[in-house]
Chains A and B, each alone.
Chain A
Amino acid sequence: MRAEVDPLPPVVRAPSVATAARSALADVATLTRRELLVWLRNPSLIFFTFVQPVMFVLLFRYVFGGAIPVRVPGGYVDFLMPGIIAQTSAFASFGTAIALARQVQLGMIDRLRAMPIARSAVLLGRLAADTARLVVTVVLLLGVGYAVGFRFHNGIVPALLLVVLAVAFGAVICTVSGFVGLRIRDEEAVGSFGLVWLFPLTFVSSAFVPVTSMPGWLQAFAKNQPVTIVIDELRALALGGPLQLHAWQSALWLAGIALVFVPLAVRAYRRA
């Protein structure tokens, strides 16, 4: 007697766009809350979130710094800080990729996918939590920078804009890492893969040395890649100099990367 009765499904109304958006926002808020709670429960996670960047500041300031000639107002430490901030923001995305891959492996993503929550909520919740962490990290780095001699030379508004741009840059790199984590789904592979793309991208840039000190063929890449463009803008914000060109280039790059990788990551989530 199967399938003779036409089923009368329980009424599940198609929600209006506004309702759906409100509901998605609530889901994102819940998942952000979860991520931040987990982070706060993990003293070692908190510790290492901050230790690595501080170590890099000290290492470059006092070990390599003396050997790297730069022409900026306060010497190498002023050159260094915008670079370190960008690099730290990019490296923060390791955590995103690894955490998401782990959640796929554990089957947690499956369980979330079987719940009536927005398809983008898991990724956006993670990104929101990452953003909150990035703000804390960038501010902390600036504090450490001040302690070792870094100074803003351009006033308070550009200084605030520097924080905003650095955090936005980190969040956008997290969308790439989010996609990588959800797509590769293997914690270890994701970690190694992170090294493979993040190291060249951040080191072959203007982060630690002037691009002009690199061989010509490398300069071509280093000069035009988005990390350099963002760092040059961060530097202009901190130290003064022409802002506009790098500002709109940075904005375009960041918007472009997010526009490509958010949908890719959501798609990877749906198929996880």
Chain B
Amino acid sequence: MPARDRGSGHRGTLARPARPGWAGRAGPAATSPPRWEGPAVVVEDLRKSYGAVRALRGVDFEVGQGQVLGLLGPNGAGKTTAVRILTTLVVPDGGRALVAGHDVARSPAAVRELIGLAGQATAIQEELTGRENLDIVGRLYHLDPKTRRRRAEELLERLELADAADRPAKGYSGGMQRRLDLALSLLSRPAVLFLDEPTTGLDPRSRLAMWAVIRELVAAGTTLLLTTQYLEEADELADRIVVVDQGRVIAEGTAAELKGRVGGEVIEFQVLDRTQLERAAAALAGLSAHEPSVDPEAAHVRLAVGERGSSSLVETVRRLDAAGIATEGLAVRRPSLDDVFLALTGHGAASSDGPPTPTRPRWGRGH
């Protein structure tokens, strides 16, 4: 599958010779082509177990050069395991993984030269300032002092950390720490960048800021594999989405395609009187191209309504009112990971770590 062409602005960085040769190079040669053919990441039948837990049970996907792939899945789906294998931290039990043309199991050293990683854990040394953290990582990549300083300044500027650059990272907000962590992973100008849940735990404002930063990177042509639990995030940032569940790929496509399978926007509400649940579902029949689905335990109804969210909402209210059904929490919203799971598997995106949390609605199929 051809990668979406994002221009060749960054490609020069892919072509750098091995360390320490490239240490002295000041900047990317903008016109040189990539040095390897084929996708940036190839994953074939990848398997990994931890004792009895089968974290990955035969996963396949590809990321084209310059493409952004979103690996979407609930807790315990195997996202981090996949990233850890691709970044040479864990050796797979079976299957094959290539990053920038190198087999991660056979030539991990070559892979490490070419990748960047930021994610659930942090590389930040809290006692040191932002600038010192960048300096240390620059030294570890054997960048010469001038390059090291120039790139650090660039990144501090771009990630809006310039004002805090000389304060210890201990005092940074969560969002700032994530941005600094991202800066550390970008310092070597990696050919392929891996971001494991880059916005988990951030407040909405910091999340938006992080998205803006990532979007900018992506516009500059960075090949990116990002994992997330949020359909919305994958939608915002990724060209293509691979949905994983319990160590398997259960769907693959663009955000639009996935949302299409869900049926677009979703109307949902709770019926106050459980005995009216069936009647509520019946009242909505034919309202959209999709069947309403009912969760009897939570007295919840949800209905995919395509792109006509607000007009369908009006119609829903009218019909429920006519049928005399009292509801609570009636709303129209954008489809979530849970909706994708419901559409694909018939059950919600319960974590595969253990039993589903009791508060999470267990959805039954509509009738």
**Residues of A at under 8 Å CB distance from B?**
1-3, 5-13, 15, 19, 23, 26-27, 30-31, 33-34, 37-38, 41-42, 106-108, 110-117
> Is B322 on the interface with A (CB-CB < 8 A)?
no
B residues 1-19 touching A (CB-CB < 8 Å): 1, 14-19
Q: Contact between A2 and B62 (Cβ–Cβ < 8 Å)? A: yes
Q: Contact between B140 and A115 (Cβ–Cβ < 8 Å)? A: yes
Q: Contact between A5 and B89 (Cβ–Cβ < 8 Å)? A: no
Chain A residue numbers with a CB within 8 Å of B122 are 106-108, 111
Q: Contact between B121 and A106 (Cβ–Cβ < 8 Å)? A: yes
Size range of the interface on B?
35 or more
Q: Contact between A38 and B123 (Cβ–Cβ < 8 Å)? A: no
Chain A residue numbers with a CB within 8 Å of B137 are 115
Interface flags for B22-40 (1: CB within 8 Å of A; 0: not) read 0000000000001111110
- Give the most central of A6, A12, A27: most B CB within 10 Å: A12
Q: Contact between A37 and B132 (Cβ–Cβ < 8 Å)? A: yes
Mostly helix, strand, loop or mixed at chain A's interface? loop
A-B contact pairs, 7 of them (CB 8 A): A9-B102, A12-B18, A23-B20, A26-B142, A38-B128, A108-B122, A114-B117
Min CB gap A126→B, angstroms: 13
Min CB gap A178→B, angstroms: 18
Min CB gap A52→B, angstroms: 21
Q: Contact between B100 and A42 (Cβ–Cβ < 8 Å)? A: no
Given A107-B122, A117-B140: 6 more A-B contacts, CB < 8 Å: A7-B36, A11-B35, A37-B132, A113-B88, A114-B89, A116-B109
Min CB gap B100→A, angstroms: 6
Q: Contact between A10 and B112 (Cβ–Cβ < 8 Å)? A: no
Mostly helix, strand, loop or mixed at chain B's interface? loop
Q: Contact between A116 and B19 (Cβ–Cβ < 8 Å)? A: yes
Chain A residue numbers with a CB within 8 Å of B44 are 2-3
> Is B98 on the interface with A (CB-CB < 8 A)?
yes
Chain A residue numbers with a CB within 8 Å of B304 are none
Q: Contact between A6 and B136 (Cβ–Cβ < 8 Å)? A: no
Min CB gap A81→B, angstroms: 33
Chain B residue numbers with a CB within 8 Å of A8 are 35-37, 101
Chain A residue numbers with a CB within 8 Å of B266 are none
**Residues of B at under 8 Å CB distance from A?**
1, 14-21, 34-39, 42, 44, 62, 84, 87-89, 98, 100-102, 107, 109-110, 112-115, 117, 119-123, 125, 127-128, 132, 136-137, 139-142, 168, 184, 191
Q: A12-B113, A23-B142 are in contact. Are A6 and B17 (CB under 8 A)?
A: no
Q: How many inter-chain contacts with C-beta < 8 Å in the A-B complex?
A: 121
Q: Contact between B38 and A5 (Cβ–Cβ < 8 Å)? A: yes
Min CB gap B84→A, angstroms: 8
Q: A23-B19, A108-B123 are in contact. Are A115 and B141 (CB under 8 A)?
A: yes
| Complex Cα gap A120–B35 (Å) | 30
| Complex Cα gap A31–B139 (Å) | 9
| Complex Cα gap A115–B109 (Å) | 9
| Complex Cα gap A106–B127 (Å) | 14
From A35, which residue of chain B is reached at the shortest CB distance?
B125
Q: Contact between B125 and A34 (Cβ–Cβ < 8 Å)? A: yes
Q: A7-B36, A107-B120 are in contact. Are A38 and B141 (CB under 8 A)?
A: no
Chain A residue numbers with a CB within 8 Å of B102 are 7, 9-10, 12
Q: Contact between A30 and B17 (Cβ–Cβ < 8 Å)? A: no
Chain A residue numbers with a CB within 8 Å of B89 are 110, 113-114
Chain A residue numbers with a CB within 8 Å of B34 are 10
| Complex Cα gap A108–B122 (Å) | 6
Q: Contact between A41 and B128 (Cβ–Cβ < 8 Å)? A: yes
| Complex Cα gap A11–B191 (Å) | 13
| Complex Cα gap A251–B147 (Å) | 45
Q: Contact between A27 and B17 (Cβ–Cβ < 8 Å)? A: no
| Complex Cα gap A12–B79 (Å) | 28
Kindly identify which residue among B14, B21, B120, B184 contacts A10, using a CB–CB cutoff of 8 Å.
B14
Chain B residue numbers with a CB within 8 Å of A110 are 84, 89, 121
